[in-house]
Amino acid sequence: MSRPLRVICTGLFAAGALAACSNVPELDDQISPALRDADFPTLLPLDTALNATGLPNVTPAAEGKAVQDDLAARAARLRARAAALNSVEN
């Protein structure tokens, strides 16, 4: 093993060893008793939650169609620009 690689590996090992020795605060000690005894929230189906936001319901197919249309328009503009540049050079 080359010397720089050995130094890097030793440094990474030392950093990992130091990180393993740190004290991580316990999350249970930071939760209030009222929050600990609270009921779990009611879970909603994803469709219900998304429709409750008031945002339009966009399907992946519609989103993909919009992206395809945008890319086709960009390609047409680039082709027209290339044709204009080619006609100027000739």
pLDDT per residue as tens digits for the range 25-50: 776 678 888 888 899 988 988 877 77
Give me the mean pLDDT over the 63-67 stretch.
Answer: 91
Residue 90 scores a pLDDT above 80: no
Instruction: Please report the pLDDT score of residue 28 as a whole number.
Output: 65
Give the H/E segment covering residue 15. Answer: helix 3-20
- CA dist 4 and 29 (Å) reads 44
On average, the pLDDT of the chain sits at: 85
Cα of first residue to Cα of last residue in the chain, in angstroms, is 60
54 dihedral zone (left: phi>0; alpha: psi -120 to 50; beta): left
